[in-house]
Amino acid sequence: MNAGLSDSRPSENEPIDLHRKHLGRGRSQLAALFGGLVEDSASGARVTTTDGQEFLNCGGYGVFFTGAGHPRVVEAVQRQAERQALSTRLFLDPAVGLAAQALTSVAPAGLDRVHFSGSGAEATETAVKLARAHGRRRLISMENGYHGKTVGALSLTARSFYQDPFRPLLPDVTHVPFGEVAALAEALRTGEGEACVVVEPVQSEAGVIMPPPGYLAEVAALCREHRALLVVDEVMTGLGRLGAWWGSELAGVRPDMLLVGKALSGGVMPVSAVLATPEMFEPFDTDPFLHTSTYSGAPIAMAAVRATVEVIRDEELVDRAAVTGARLLDALRAIAAERAPRLVREVRGAGLLIGVELDNAAMAGELLLEMVDRHVVVNHSLNAHPVVRLTPPATLTPAEEAELLTAFDDSLTAMAKNFS
């Protein structure tokens, strides 16, 4: 029998022991690599550990676009939690309608229908099901692209390391090189009207890969030509991360479906969505039980969505992301060129999605650790180990920006010595 919480020995309640015991060795080893630091609280661009250390948070894999726990989002969620956190799902629920209204008001024109879910992967699943309901059974995604790890989404997340242990995945999936229009054209040549293309505007987990100019527009044109559906996965890039509301908008493209997540959380609530044209959404219109989930559109999550969209709009975070991002990119490039030209291959990005590509994965690991030593949290890249990603909040102040640059400068200076 399990010991009750009150009589278990204190050491058994240590986060690292609990991780090892219940969440797996790998999780605890990863935590140990970063000094076994334990998160205690987070606010804005700051995360604080239980030993009282404060870190600048430029990590979180993109969820902290509005900073952690934005006060307006927290307040909206608290109010909703007190009144009605979850719904019967039989009566009308005002929160989900208002959230959908807020989200579609900033979405590319024509994407008026919404299906809410919890994770990015679930949004991908929803899009795959809608595509199939429209007879598009062939899926095409891009090599090294990332769309989540549930079985359907994993079929599109084109990296054999994640896929191989779980085969067979969905049938009829083709992966083509990102940025290569000719390869997509070839894949679309057969099976007119049977395919659905899923693509990120900028490949994020692949290591912030920027496509050639005009790529997404050409993808959209090819889809039109071959009557393929176009799903743009903006789970990472959407809602301002690239310094525009959407990567699709930057490319002048109106997809059939658009996936959103991460920033939609307001740094508070795990939530994602698929935006779709009414035509695409039609199968779900007809039968509301065709694609359901107990927690889809939960009032508590919807309060966060509405408040988050309002915060991004009212605080002009999209423009701030563009301005801060451009300045940061220049400064980071200058530092890399001056301090460690032989270690850093490239600094690239758009808005506040910035990738620093190092010579190899070991160096990227070292940069992560050096930055943590200097109290700045950044991300690694799931599909590109030599690339460290910076995803700072758009609320970053000039002082925090300077802090980030100093940490980057000092980290690379130290690494240049170690690796020389």
* Residues from 7 through 66 that contact ligand PMP (CB under 6 A): 61
Stretch that binds ligand PMP, among 21-29, 144-152, 327-335, 393-401 (CB under 6 A): 144-152
125 binds ligand PMP (CB under 6 A): no
Helices 278-286 + 120-133 axis angle, to 10: 90
235 binds ligand PMP (CB under 6 A): yes
Q: Residue of minimal CB distance from ligand PMP? A: 120
320 binds ligand PMP (CB under 6 A): no
Among positions 146, 215, 245, 281, the unique one binding ligand PMP when judged by CB under 6 A: 146
Stretch that binds ligand PMP, among 184-192, 229-237, 247-255, 359-367 (CB under 6 A): 229-237
Nearest to 242 by CA among 206, 277, 210: 210
C-beta closer to ligand PMP: residue 206 or 229: 206
- Min. distance of Cβ 105 from ligand PMP in angstroms? 23
Number of residues located near ligand PMP, criterion CB under 6 A: 14
Nearest to 221 by CA among 267, 255, 260, 270: 255
295 binds ligand PMP (CB under 6 A): no
261 binds ligand PMP (CB under 6 A): yes
204 binds ligand PMP (CB under 6 A): yes
C-beta closer to ligand PMP: residue 258 or 311: 258
Among positions 125, 205, 403, 409, the unique one binding ligand PMP when judged by CB under 6 A: 205
Phi and psi torsions of 33, nearest 5°: -55, -35
Among positions 93, 233, 256, 357, the unique one binding ligand PMP when judged by CB under 6 A: 233
147 binds ligand PMP (CB under 6 A): yes
390/324 Cα distance (integer angstroms): 12
Among positions 60, 67, 108, 148, the unique one binding ligand PMP when judged by CB under 6 A: 148
Among positions 114, 176, 220, 236, the unique one binding ligand PMP when judged by CB under 6 A: 236
Stretch that binds ligand PMP, among 50-58, 134-142, 143-151, 316-324 (CB under 6 A): 143-151
Among positions 119, 248, 383, 395, the unique one binding ligand PMP when judged by CB under 6 A: 119
156/147 Cα distance (integer angstroms): 6
> Two tokens at 277?
């044209």
In sequence order, what are the beta bridge partners of 43?
46
C-beta closer to ligand PMP: residue 93 or 122: 122
C-beta closer to ligand PMP: residue 297 or 344: 297
DSSP E strands in 322-413: the ranges are 344-350, 353-358, 376-377, 387-390
393/133 Cα distance (integer angstroms): 37
Helix (H) or strand (E) segment spanning residue 181: helix 181-188
> Two tokens at 99?
């959230």
C-beta closer to ligand PMP: residue 257 or 412: 257
201 binds ligand PMP (CB under 6 A): no
Helix (H) or strand (E) segment spanning residue 41: strand 39-43
265 binds ligand PMP (CB under 6 A): no
Q: How many CA atoms lie within 13 A of 75 on its CB side?
A: 5
Which string of DSSP letters, residue by residue, matches 82-121?
HHHSS--SSS--HHHHHHHHHHHHTSPTT--EEEEESSHH
> Two tokens at 405?
């640059």
Residue 5 CB neighbour total at 10 angstroms: 7
SS (H, E, C) 165-177: HHCCCCCCEEEEC
Q: Give yes or no for a contact between 363 and 353, defined as CB atoms under 8 angstroms apart.
A: no
Among positions 44, 120, 201, 393, the unique one binding ligand PMP when judged by CB under 6 A: 120
C-beta closer to ligand PMP: residue 236 or 378: 236
- Min. distance of Cβ 118 from ligand PMP in angstroms? 8
Residues interacting with ligand PMP, by CB under 6 A?
61, 119-121, 146-148, 200, 204-205, 233, 235-236, 261
